[in-house]
A and B are shown apart, each in its own frame.
Chain A
Amino acid sequence: MRKAWLVALLLLGCASPPEPALRLALNAWIGYDPFVLAQAWGLTDPRRLRVVELVSNSESQRAFANDSAEAAAMTLDEALRLADAGVPLRIIAVLDVSDGADAILARPEITTPSGLKGRRIGVETSAVGHLVLSHFLAHAGLSWADVDVVAIEAGQHQAALTGGRVDAIVTFEPIKSMLLRHGFRLLYDSRAMPETIFDVLVVRPEFSDTSRLLAAWREGMTALMHDPRKAAETLARGTGLSAEEYLAALQGLRFIPPAESVRLLTASAGRAAPLETRAQPIVKELLALGLLRQAPNWTALLAPGKEGR
């Protein structure tokens, strides 16, 4: 009774409405795992930030686009495509860049890239896989008409390849390492497209307090760097990898330190932000593929976040 009266008085007073936890949607990409580690080790306040692990890029994009998440981690090309589709967003940080962790794996009997001609290739078409596949096809001297593209979300990659629904799959870590362990053959990976697949952190424009997100990222990354083995033991759970395999998988990407992230996102006098410059080939490619309708408005997109507190 007394509590209810207190609530009633608070209602009449000027108590701020409760601020719900910010939902950060991300997929199983190991490049986002510092967020998972920060939450698992209690380095973030669960009342302020909830890391929601979804199984595919597409699912996290949907969650973000449909307001089920206020923030999301995704690849730069995914972010550009979402913005092009009309989803309002700001890129506040560059998290990592793929350096081999994105890959195309095929059934063991397919030994060369050209061996995929006339084969079914599974790919998450709404995500970065489309870009990887585009590069791969160019690398293999194949065209889109030479392959049968099957849209498969990341959560189904392993099952689709092992079940024979596709002959090859465009995937990423940790699924890549798991498939390699099962004997599938690596045909292509992102080492062949350096500084192309950036992962970024995006938020809704109306969301101005980015400090908790950036703090969680910094805390998680620091913890991971400080004790990779222990972190790997935690993060390998549920991935199907051992801690060692997990640590090996981490070699396929490079985490971007916060300072470098800010530099990449900041335009200097008369010069575009470095990320914009580096993304120009991707933008051209996406435009060519029809995945972008128009060139991105980088000024509106890039908003380097600050931890602040």
Chain B
Amino acid sequence: MRGAWPWPMRWTLPFLLAGLSLLASAWIAWFQHREYAEAVEREEIQRLKDRLTIEQTRLEVQLGQRNLAQVRAILSGLGLRRHLQHAWLIAPDGQVAAALSRIEIGVPWSTIHSRLTPQLAQALEAPAPPAPILHVRRLAESELLVAQATIRPGHRLIVVSDLALPLAERLAGARSILLTQSLAPFLLALTLGILLHGLWLRRAARLARAAEALGTGDFSSRAALSGSDELAHLGVAFDRMAERIATQHTHILRLASLIEHSPLVAIVWRNAPGWPVEFVSDNISRWGFEKQDLLSGRLQYADLIHPDDLPAITADVEQHLAHGPDRYVQTYRLRDGFGHWRWIEDHTWLLRDESGAVVSIQGVLLDISAHREAEVALRLKTQELIERNAELERFAQATIDRELQMLRLKQEINELSLALGRAPPYRLPEAADHEAGASP
């Protein structure tokens, strides 16, 4: 969206509002123009009819009295009608008997007709309607009104009026009203736009800038919006969020630092074949790996596990993925970036979505190679001790057995002596005596 619309909303909105207002005004103006055009045509036709109806009577009276001067006065008087372009009274002999300008008087109508525009000339080829009908019509695709009437005896009255001027005058008259009508919403829209710009959008831009800064890692960025409107609330919420993020970021940094300085390697795998690595802590470099090699998938984690351990590990993982438990510990050998095998203790826990599908495998790896070696050494030492002990036991057993046989022999002698009524020759401990007596 940002790429599609290059200007910030705080500028766009005022202009948009003002533009929409102008557009609405233009639409109203267009609509009014149509209405005015129809109204002007209607009114002008009616005015022309009203006026010419009177003139028809006057002309017939004056022609009846053969008062040509008065006839010409009537025609020339029509010239005061601002919209009237031509007026001719054509005598039965085809000559102009009266006109707006006296220089057309006596001129053959055919001469004047030939000077007219083709459209007007064509329209005037039609004969005048019979008296007393006055025919007024608008020429197609033109702003001319043409009126024709028959003036008895045998004269033809032609009047041409221009609609363009009354329409233009009407529009000009309406313009101040229209401008007022247009200006009010325009100013209102502009004011609203400016108010929005000042009170809302400028602060929104400030909020956006703070969010952008936060997004680029500036955790000290705050909107610090004043007021008590929704935007101010949003600003306060944002600042709180930024504060929390900053705290969490500090916390994460500490954790990261701790991990960085610990033997633990934090790692996240995707649940996908080869266990591609999604995340790994920076201290993986200690094991000779380029972090990016793991993240890019150039190195698949499964490929690094010792081939002897991999089948068991794979099976174990699949078991956990399928049936849990979701926390488990595995120990295996991993080939490090230096090409050495390391014993890894892998503490893993699984993250599942709502459907139970594993979405992430997270783990902490601990290099237990030294421990493992010590353990092996200890096991060997223990074995040795056990073996030695067994040997000692065997030796001791042999010695004791002989002693016990001696004791039993002495006891038997003592018993024989007693049976013989003699004093036992051997002093024997009581337990041994008993033991010797209890033994088979």
CB of A142 within 8 Å of the partner chain: no
A235–B79 contact, CB under 8 A? Answer: no
Residues of B within 8 A of A28 (CB): 102
**B154 in the interface, Cβ–Cβ < 8 Å?**
no
> Which B residues are CB-close (under 8 A) to A69?
80
Residues of A within 8 A of B168 (CB): 17-18
Bound form: Cα–Cα A17–B179 in Å: 13
Contacting residues, chain A, for B11 (C-beta < 8 A):
none
For chain B, what secondary structure do more than half of its interface residues adopt (helix, strand, loop), or is it mixed? Answer: helix
Whether the Cβ atoms of B73 and A12 lie closer than 8 Å is no
Contacts A40-B101, A237-B106, A238-B103 given; indicate if A155 touches B70 (C-beta within 8 A). yes
Instruction: Evaluate contact between A8 and B103: CB separation under 8 angstroms.
Output: no
Chain B residues, Cβ within 8 Å of A237: 102-107
Contact of B169 (CB < 8 Å), options: A4, A17, A156 = A17
**CB distance A11 to B29 under 8 Å?**
yes
| Stretch from A19-27, A96-104, A126-134, A284-292 forming part of the interface with B | A19-27
The 8 A CB mask of B21-41 against A (1 = contact, 0 = none) is: 010011111101110000000
By the criterion of a CB under 8 Å from any partner CB, how many residues of chain B are at the interface?
40
A36 contacts which chain B residues (CB < 8 A)? 101-103
Assembled-state Cα–Cα distance A11/B174 (Å): 9
Instruction: Report yes or no: B26 in contact with A9, Cβ–Cβ below 8 A.
Output: yes
Total A-B contacts with CB atoms under 8 angstroms apart:
112
Indicate if the CB atoms of A21 and B82 lie closer than 8 Å: yes
Q: A55-B72, A156-B69 are in contact. Are A63 and B175 (CB under 8 A)?
A: no
Residues of A1-56 whose CB lies within 8 A of B: 4-5, 7-9, 11-12, 17-18, 20-21, 23, 25, 28, 36, 39-40, 50-56
User: 0/1 per residue, A207-242, Cβ < 8 Å to B?
Assistant: 000000000000000000000000000110111000
Q: With a 10 A CB-CB cut-off, give which of A5, A17, A52, A69 has the most chain B CB atoms.
A: A52
Given A11-B178, A239-B102: A53 in contact with B79 (beta carbons within 8 A): yes
Shortest Cβ gap from A181 to chain B (Å): 15
Partner of A12, one of B26, B79, B99, B102: B26
* CB < 8 Å neighbour of A8 from B33, B76, B107: B33
Residue of B with least CB distance to A237: B103
List chain B residues, Cβ under 8 A from A50. Answer: 79, 82
B76's partner among A4, A23, A55 (CB-CB below 8 A) is A55
Q: Does A59 lie at the interface of the complex (its beta carbon under 8 Å from any beta carbon of B)?
A: yes
Residues A235 and B29 in contact in the complex (CB < 8 Å), given A18-B165, A21-B82, A55-B69 = no
Contact between A63 and B101, CB atoms less than 8 A apart: no
List residues of chain B with CB under 8 Å of any chain A CB. 22, 25-30, 32-34, 67, 69-70, 72-73, 76-77, 79-80, 82, 99-107, 165, 168-169, 171-175, 178-179, 182
Given A54-B79, A155-B73, 20 additional A-B pairs, CB 8 A: A8-B32, A9-B26, A9-B29, A11-B32, A12-B25, A12-B182, A17-B169, A17-B172, A18-B169, A21-B82, A53-B76, A53-B100, A54-B80, A55-B70, A55-B76, A63-B80, A68-B80, A155-B70, A234-B103, A237-B105
Chain A residues with CB under 8 Å of chain B are: 4-5, 7-9, 11-12, 17-18, 20-21, 23, 25, 28, 36, 39-40, 50-56, 59, 63, 68-69, 155-156, 158-159, 234-235, 237-239
16 A-B pairs in the complex with CB atoms less than 8 angstroms apart: A8-B27, A8-B28, A8-B33, A9-B26, A11-B178, A12-B22, A17-B169, A17-B173, A21-B82, A36-B102, A40-B101, A51-B101, A53-B79, A55-B70, A237-B102, A238-B106
